[in-house]
């Protein structure tokens, strides 16, 4: 069964299309954090971002640069933010967000950690990256 985003890519569901190339499709989020909030999706359907094959995966991030610059010009925002969550629709999607300050993206769960906690998780990630 096709995801909502696959149906948007195929034109079966209308969207406010921002950009399209051979590998990606970008459109405005229907429930934007700020006006201009854009989703970039690969034209292959994969639930998890780490399962997206090349060249689709890299194309999403490559597309984010010109899209982000255009959003900045269109909205006069101070920064462009980005988020990958993927809980709502089982199709990898990259949020490109116009931001005026850090409160535009909620990091309510962020908190300082002890140095030893940071060192332990760093070591674990590096080891797992190498394996």
Q: Mean pLDDT over residues 12-22, rounded?
A: 93
Q: Indicate which residue of 37, 91, 93, 95 is catalytic.
A: 93
CA angle 96/30/10 to nearest 5° reads: 90
Identify the helix (H) or strand (E) that includes residue 45: none
Domain containing 37 equals 4-130
Of 2-6, 49-53, 56-60, 83-87, the range with the lowest mean pLDDT is 83-87
Domain count, the chain: 1
> What would the pLDDT profile of 75-106 be if each residue is shown by its tens digit?
999 999 999 988 889 999 999 998 999 888 86
Question: Which pLDDT value is given to residue 123?
Answer: 62
State the average pLDDT over residues 40-67: 96
Give mean pLDDT, residues 58-76: 93
Entry pTM: 0.84
Q: Residue-wise over 55-68: b if at least 16 C-beta within 10 A, else e?
A: ebbebbeebbeebb
Give the sheet arrangement for strand 79-84, strand by strand.
Answer: 17-20, 24-28, 38-42, 94-99, 79-84
95 is catalytic: no
Which of 12-21, 98-107, 109-118 is predicted with the least confidence, judged by mean pLDDT?
Answer: 109-118
Q: Check which CATH number belongs to the domain holding 16 and give it.
A: 3.30.428.10
pLDDT of residue 108: 44
Provide the pLDDT for residue 87: 85
Q: Residue holding tokens 């921002």?
A: 18
């Amino acid at each position: 069964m096709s995801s909502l985003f696959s149906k948007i890519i195929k034109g079966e569901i209308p969207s406010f299309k921002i950009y399209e190339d051979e590998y990606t499709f970008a459109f405005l989020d229907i429930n934007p954090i700020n006006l201009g909030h854009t989703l970039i999706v690969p034209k292959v359907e994969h639930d998890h971002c780490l399962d997206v094959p090349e060249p689709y995966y890299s194309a999403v991030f490559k597309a984010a640069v010109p899209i982000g610059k255009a959003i900045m010009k269109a909205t006069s925002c101070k920064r462009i933010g980005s988020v990958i969550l993927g809980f709502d629709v089982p199709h990898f999607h990259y949020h490109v967000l116009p931001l005026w300050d850090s409160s535009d993206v909620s990091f309510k769960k962020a908190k300082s950690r002890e140095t030893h906690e940071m060192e332990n998780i760093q070591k674990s990630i590096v080891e797992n990256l190498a394996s």
